[in-house]
Chain A
Amino acid sequence: MKIDIILAGVGGQGILSIAATIGLAAVEAGLYLKQAEVHGMSQRGGDVQSHLRLSDKEIASDLIPFGKADMIISVEPMEGLRYLPYLKKDGWLITNTKPFINISNYPDEEKLMAEIKALPNHIALDADSVATELGSVKAANMVVLGAASPFISIEFEKLENAIRTLFGRKGEELVTLNLNALNTGRKFSMEAQK
Chain B
Amino acid sequence: MQKLLLLGDEAIAQAAIDAGMSGVYAYPGTPSTEVTEYVRSSREAREKGIVATWCANEKTAAETALGMSYAGRRTMTCMKHVGLNVAADAFINSSITGANGGIIFLVADDPSMHSSQNEQDSRFYGKFAMIPILEPSNQQEAYNMVHYGFDLSEKFQIPVMIRITTRLAHSRAGVVRKSSHEQNKVGLPENLRQFVLLPAIARKQYKMLVDNQPAFLKESEESAFNTYLPGKDKSLGIIACGLAYNYLIENFPERDIPFPVVKVQQYPLPEKHIRRLYEECDSLLVLEDGYPIVEEMVKGFLNLGKPIKGRLDGTIPRTGELNPNIVGAGLGFEQEETLDVPSLVAARPPSLCKGCSHIDSFTALNEVLEIYGRGRVFSDIGCYTLSALPPYESINSCVDMGASITMAKGAADAGLVPAIAVIGDSTFTHSGMTGLLDAVNDKSNITVIILDNSTTGMTGGQPSSALGKIEDICKGIGVDEDHIRVLKPLRKHHEENVQIMKEEIEYNGVSVVIPRRECIQTLNKRMRDKFKEKAKAAGK
Assess A23 versus B346: contact at CB under 8 Å? Given A40-B458, A62-B167, A63-B167. Answer: no
Cβ A66 vs Cβ B344 within 8 A: no
Q: How distant is A26 from chain B, measured CB to nearest CB, in Å?
A: 9
Q: CB of B179 within 8 A of chain A?
A: no
Per-position contact with A for B329-352: 1 when CB-CB < 8 Å, else 0? Answer: 000000111111110111111111
Say which one of A83-91, A134-142, A151-159 lies at the interface with B. A83-91
For A41, list chain B residues within 8 Å (CB): 30, 114-115, 350, 458
Q: Specify which of A40, A89, A105 is in contact with B339 (CB 8 Å cutoff).
A: A89
Q: How distant is B317 from chain A, measured CB to nearest CB, in Å?
A: 15
Cβ B341 vs Cβ A85 within 8 A: yes
- CB-contacts of B130-174 with A (<8 A): 167-168, 170-174
Cβ A46 vs Cβ B344 within 8 A: no
Say which one of A31-39, A123-131, A176-184, A186-194 lies at the interface with B. A31-39
For A44, list chain B residues within 8 Å (CB): 350-353, 383, 386, 458
* B-side interface mostly: loop
Q: CB of A67 within 8 A of chain B?
A: yes
Q: CB of B268 within 8 A of chain A?
A: no
For B458, list chain A residues within 8 Å (CB): 40-41, 44
Q: CB of A133 within 8 A of chain B?
A: no
Cβ B170 vs Cβ A37 within 8 A: yes
Q: CB of A168 within 8 A of chain B?
A: no
For A106, list chain B residues within 8 Å (CB): 346
- CB-contacts of A47-106 with B (<8 A): 47, 59-67, 78-79, 81-87, 89, 102-103, 105-106
Cβ A34 vs Cβ B34 within 8 A: no
Cβ B352 vs Cβ A37 within 8 A: no
Q: CB of B463 within 8 A of chain A?
A: no
Q: CB of B183 within 8 A of chain A?
A: no
Per-position contact with A for B39-57: 1 when CB-CB < 8 Å, else 0? Answer: 0000000000000000000
Q: How distant is A14 from chain B, measured CB to nearest CB, in Å?
A: 15
For A29, list chain B residues within 8 Å (CB): none
Q: How distant is B490 from chain A, measured CB to nearest CB, in Å?
A: 21
Per-position contact with A for B347-371: 1 when CB-CB < 8 Å, else 0? Answer: 1111111000000000000000000
For A112, list chain B residues within 8 Å (CB): 344
Q: How distant is A74 from chain B, measured CB to nearest CB, in Å?
A: 12
Cβ B325 vs Cβ A65 within 8 A: yes
CA distance A141 to B485 in the complex (A): 45
Cβ A38 vs Cβ B346 within 8 A: no
Closest chain B residue to A108 by CB distance? B344
Q: How distant is B389 from chain A, measured CB to nearest CB, in Å?
A: 11
Give the size of the chain B interface in residues (CB under 8 angstroms). 48
Closest chain A residue to B536 by CB distance? A171
Cβ B171 vs Cβ A36 within 8 A: yes
Q: How many A-B residue pairs have CB under 8 A?
A: 145
Cβ B345 vs Cβ A107 within 8 A: yes
Q: Specify which of A24, A45, A63 is in contact with B353 (CB 8 Å cutoff).
A: A45
Per-position contact with A for B244-258: 1 when CB-CB < 8 Å, else 0? Answer: 001101100000000
CA distance A61 to B172 in the complex (A): 12
CA distance A60 to B256 in the complex (A): 13
Q: CB of A42 within 8 A of chain B?
A: yes
For B283, list chain A residues within 8 Å (CB): none
Q: CB of B275 within 8 A of chain A?
A: no
For A43, list chain B residues within 8 Å (CB): 350
For A103, list chain B residues within 8 Å (CB): 346-348
Cβ B115 vs Cβ A27 within 8 A: no
Q: Specify which of A24, A37, A107 is in contact with B7 (CB 8 Å cutoff).
A: A37
Q: Specify which of A39, A59, A83, A87 is in contact with B170 (CB 8 Å cutoff).
A: A39
Interface centre among B30, B337, B348 (most CB of A within 10 A): B348
Cβ A45 vs Cβ B350 within 8 A: yes
Q: CB of B323 within 8 A of chain A?
A: yes
For A39, list chain B residues within 8 Å (CB): 30-31, 33-34, 115, 170, 460
Q: How distant is A139 from chain B, measured CB to nearest CB, in Å?
A: 17
Q: CB of A10 within 8 A of chain B?
A: yes
Q: Specify which of A45, A83, A105 is in contact with B346 (CB 8 Å cutoff).
A: A105
Q: CB of B3 within 8 A of chain A?
A: yes
Cβ A10 vs Cβ B348 within 8 A: yes
Q: CB of B194 within 8 A of chain A?
A: no
Q: CB of B522 within 8 A of chain A?
A: no
Cβ A60 vs Cβ B249 within 8 A: yes
Give chain B's interface residues, CB within 8 Å of chain A.
Answer: 3, 5, 7, 30-31, 33-34, 114-115, 167-168, 170-174, 243, 246-247, 249-250, 323-325, 328, 335-342, 344-353, 383, 386, 458-460
Report, nearest first, the 5 A-B pairs whose CB atoms are least far apart.
A40-B30, A40-B115, A46-B350, A60-B249, A44-B350
Pull 26 A–B residue pairs with CB atoms less than 8 Å apart, ordered by A: A11-B350, A23-B172, A24-B5, A33-B172, A36-B171, A36-B172, A37-B7, A39-B31, A41-B114, A41-B115, A44-B350, A44-B352, A44-B383, A45-B350, A60-B246, A61-B249, A62-B168, A62-B171, A65-B324, A66-B335, A66-B336, A67-B339, A78-B345, A78-B346, A85-B341, A103-B348
9 other A-B residue contacts (CB within 8 Å) besides A39-B30, A78-B344 = A34-B173, A39-B33, A39-B115, A39-B170, A40-B31, A42-B115, A66-B338, A82-B341, A84-B339
